[in-house]
Structure 1
Amino acid sequence: MLMGLVLGYWRVSVAQNTAEKFFDRSLLSAALAISRDVAISGGDALLPSTSTLIHDAAGGEVFYHATGPSGIYVTGYAYPPHGSISDIDLYTPHYFQAEYRGEAVRVLKVVERVTSEGVSGNATVTVWQRLSERSRFATQLAFRAAGLIIGLLLTLALVVWFGVAHGLRPLLDLQQAIEVRSPDDLSQIRRPIPREAQGIVRTLNRLFAKVQESMTAQQVFISNAAHQLRNPAASVLSMAESLRDAQTPADQHQRIEDLVDAARSSTRVTEQLLSMDRLRQPMPESHRTQFDLAGLLRSIGADVGPVVLSRDIDFELVSPDHPILMTGDQVFIAEAIKNMIDNALKHGGPKLSSIVVRLREEGNKALITVLDDGKGLSPEESELALGRFSQVEPSQGSGLGLAIAAAVAERHGGNLVIEPADKGASLTLSFLR
């Protein structure tokens, strides 16, 4: 529509220019014909054929006025419109606008040098025509152009409507096929579609695959979580019932201690499950803060050191004296470090006698390595050791500690690697600072 308006305005302008040029040339032809007839007839009258020709060629009524040498009136209408002609271009046809009997007219004045019956002088022929004739002609041209443009626009609209309706029919069929699917059906779309829409369908198929994978992972997580929570809950219930049946104060005290341990284990599993679920979500910007990783590590050492030492295990913390600034989720990073230390305690075995936690820098990365001299863990066991709810050997753990540490590292642009060690296990946690 916008292009139609632009073309319409352009065609109106062209029609006006065309009408002006056409009528100006018609006036010039009329002036030359009148001048010829006046010269031939000696100023008596115009030939009938000339009058007819002028009217037909000009497209409307033409008025004229002719004078001979010295301005003597020869023929035509008595009072022509007035307009001045400079002496420099005296013999050049001169056009101008004027008013004749209350109407706007276009006037042409032609001056020629003539000799009649031995007398020489300038003969002037003035012809004029109403401007309304020109406007009428220009309007006709404009309406014809507008009709052509409207016809083209209607044809274009019809072609576009047909093309779009025909081209989108496969997509409408695809829409209907998707609408009849059940919420559980996330299989790939295999309907034939136009080449232009194949990219959309491939993207939908990839999205369906990711949604299916996410749903499957969520279902597996829920199933494993239910299994992991069932054992501690059953243990707490069993110990609570046994506490009720205790016969002696010593027996009752022992069962209370067992109940507290079972409740603590159940709480630990619940916290790990919640942490794993939160790690599946994008990190909120409010949780991303800048802190001193070396100071955090010393604080963790102060918390877990007494627990490790109480089990007659040496505990050493190696950290630079200067601060190591880190930007990230401080709570999750602390939990990841604690999980690595807890993993060494639970899986080190009876020969475990030493745990070393070392912090160092490498470029824009911070690396935390936990070494122990216990049972040992090889890089070949990484998939099993770092998987969720999986363990290399059965133990009291839930199988989530190292999985959470690996997820925290990945969340902060790093990873968790099991490195070769001559004795015991060596795990390195890396973060982008």
Structure 2
Amino acid sequence: MIWRGTSLRTRLFALILTPLVLMAILLGYWRYTTAQETSEELFDRTLLSAALAISRDVAISDGDALLPSTRDLIEDVSGGEVFYHATGPGGIYITGYAYPPALPGGSADEGYAPRFFEATYRGERVRVLSVTERITMDNLTADATVTVWQRLADRQAFAIELAIRLVAVMVALLVTLALVVWFGVERGLRPLLDLQDAISIRSPNDLSEIRRPVPVEVQGIVRTLNRLFGQVEESIRAQQVFISDAAHQLRNPAAAVQSMAEAVRDAPTMADRDLRTAELVNAARASARVADQLLSLERLKQPVTQTAPVEYDLRALVQEICADIGPSVLSRGIEFELVAPDQAIPVCGDRFFVAEAIKNLIDNALKHGGDGLSAISVHCACDEVAARVTVADDGKGLSPEQRDAAFGRFSQVEPSDGSGLGLAIALSVAEHHGGSLVIDQVDKGASLTLTMEYDP
């Protein structure tokens, strides 16, 4: 959600720099603590060097003065001023600042090892080193103690200065990297922008493939766009063919309805008018039937129908259809038989369109069975994976080799009064429900089987 409406350039910029900034913060914190530890160690060594140098000078000069090199060391030491205090045998003051920081607890009996500690000197926290050595002065050998100390604030300032230098370098690197990323991403995305410009100048009727060279990462998008363009172009072509075929198929029924309406108007007698009125009604029904079939076929071309799939009993549906159509078939002197199992056959789908497909199979047998048609049978069955409805007749016959002509829209194997849409609709219904419609190989007549997924 936070990326909605954000440019790809900004996303890449944030995705690349965010972890780097976080890493820089962690690295800066680690480097600051390391600088503190390093400065403590360096300053402690400096204090030790200063203490040993002062102790040496006290021994050499018999406590009179410090050598110039030692003074230079104390004055030039990094990190701030160093204070010192030296005492000779018996604790006699020799040189340095008076009143040095006292050892913690006042104990001085710790041998000759250097002793580091922190204390307060003139209201400031200091780091103190006390060193005791045995020296000889005026033929007298005794212990001399040198105490040196330094302000902790000076050490902190030195550590902060080191950290600031590091931060400055890291900030400079991050800024440089940010500029490189920002303008580098812009340059890297230039092929996408060029592709956008190339597509934007196309006319609405130009659905040809994109042949512009693009980076490997974008080739998948271009292939998808080309496939989409092809599908849209095919869909537009199918729509145009459909509109053309529909106009052609509806023109004849419309002309027939108009002609019969004029004949009814001009009928010389009431008997002629009644006859022509009945013909007009039949023509209007045929025209409405063609329009309904066209609408059904168009709806079936969509990925899903408007009606949500529901579970229903296919056997009950077939029985209901046969009960409605049976009297009309029997009235024409044609035997009509339904063979169905005793148990229900649950399937899932659009009940309305499945009923339309089964009706079309029966209507196809009636219209294309020919003069020799004497019997139509409807078989409903299922197995573990599929449910089947087979409509068979003993008419002219239909072979699997005639599939293209039989299942094509507005096409027929032989001329008849049908619209050529019935089997095309049945095939679309079968495919829409994950099934199939096949022409069975039989010795006599025609047999078509509609198969759908079984939902036990």
Equivalent in the alignment of 1:268: 289
Equivalent in the alignment of 1:27: 47
Give distance in 1, aligned partners of 2:304 and 2:124.
Answer: 83
The question of whether the paired residues in 2 share the 8 Å contact of 1:27 and 1:58 is answered with no
Equivalent in the alignment of 1:385: 406
Equivalent in the alignment of 2:87: 67
Does residue 1:395 correspond to 2:427, yes or no?
no
- Measured after TM superposition, the shift of residue 211 of structure 1 is 1.0
Any unmatched runs of 5+ in structure 1? none
Does residue 1:17 correspond to 2:37, yes or no?
yes
SS in structure 1 of the partner of residue 104 of structure 2: coil
- Measured after TM superposition, the shift of residue 213 of structure 1 is 0.9
- Measured after TM superposition, the shift of residue 251 of structure 1 is 1.5
Deviations 1:178-209 (A, max 9, x none): 11111010011122333332222222111111
Equivalent in the alignment of 1:170: 191
1:231 is aligned, of 247, 252, 256, to 252
Does residue 1:37 correspond to 2:57, yes or no?
yes
Equivalent in the alignment of 1:49: 69
Out of 24-33 and 193-202, give the one that drifted further: 193-202
SS in structure 1 of the partner of residue 118 of structure 2: strand
- Measured after TM superposition, the shift of residue 54 of structure 1 is 2.8
Query: Aligned AA for 1:38?
Result: V
Any unmatched runs of 5+ in structure 2? 1-20
Q: Cα 1:89–1:289, aligned 2, differ >3 Å: closer, same or farther?
A: farther
Aligned-CA RMSD value: 2.3
Out of 281-290 and 79-88, give the one that drifted further: 79-88
Equivalent in the alignment of 1:84: 104
Query: Aligned AA for 1:63?
Result: F
Q: Cα 1:121–1:404, aligned 2, differ >3 Å: closer, same or farther?
A: farther
SS in structure 2 of the partner of residue 337 of structure 1: helix
Give distance in 2, aligned partners of 1:399 and 1:271.
Answer: 13
TM-score w.r.t. the length of structure 2 is 0.88
- Measured after TM superposition, the shift of residue 258 of structure 1 is 0.8
- Measured after TM superposition, the shift of residue 261 of structure 1 is 0.8
Out of 319-328 and 277-286, give the one that drifted further: 277-286
Q: Cα 1:323–1:258, aligned 2, differ >3 Å: closer, same or farther?
A: same
TM-score w.r.t. the length of structure 1 is 0.93
- Measured after TM superposition, the shift of residue 115 of structure 1 is 6.1
SS in structure 1 of the partner of residue 77 of structure 2: helix
Give distance in 1, aligned partners of 2:258 and 2:418.
Answer: 19
Does residue 1:241 correspond to 2:262, yes or no?
yes
The question of whether the paired residues in 2 share the 8 Å contact of 1:110 and 1:124 is answered with yes
SS in structure 2 of the partner of residue 287 of structure 1: coil
Deviations 1:123-158 (A, max 9, x none): 433221112222222222122212221222232233
Query: Aligned AA for 1:20?
Result: E
1:361 is aligned, of 375, 382, 386, to 382
Give distance in 2, aligned partners of 1:92 and 1:284.
Answer: 94
- Measured after TM superposition, the shift of residue 113 of structure 1 is 5.2
SS in structure 1 of the partner of residue 438 of structure 2: strand
Query: Aligned AA for 2:397?
Result: G
Q: Cα 1:88–1:252, aligned 2, differ >3 Å: closer, same or farther?
A: farther
- Measured after TM superposition, the shift of residue 52 of structure 1 is 0.9
The question of whether the paired residues in 1 share the 8 Å contact of 2:386 and 2:451 is answered with yes
Q: Cα 1:37–1:374, aligned 2, differ >3 Å: closer, same or farther?
A: same
2:322 is aligned, of 293, 301, 313, to 301
Give distance in 2, aligned partners of 1:89 and 1:245.
Answer: 139
How many residues get paired? 433
Q: Cα 1:87–1:263, aligned 2, differ >3 Å: closer, same or farther?
A: farther
Q: Cα 1:96–1:213, aligned 2, differ >3 Å: closer, same or farther?
A: farther
Query: Aligned AA for 2:125?
Result: A
The question of whether the paired residues in 1 share the 8 Å contact of 2:62 and 2:138 is answered with no
Q: Cα 1:110–1:412, aligned 2, differ >3 Å: closer, same or farther?
A: farther
Deviations 1:39-66 (A, max 9, x none): 3333333222112113323432101223
Does residue 1:148 correspond to 2:169, yes or no?
yes
Out of 265-274 and 145-154, give the one that drifted further: 145-154
Give distance in 2, aligned partners of 1:405 and 1:69.
Answer: 120
- Measured after TM superposition, the shift of residue 323 of structure 1 is 0.9
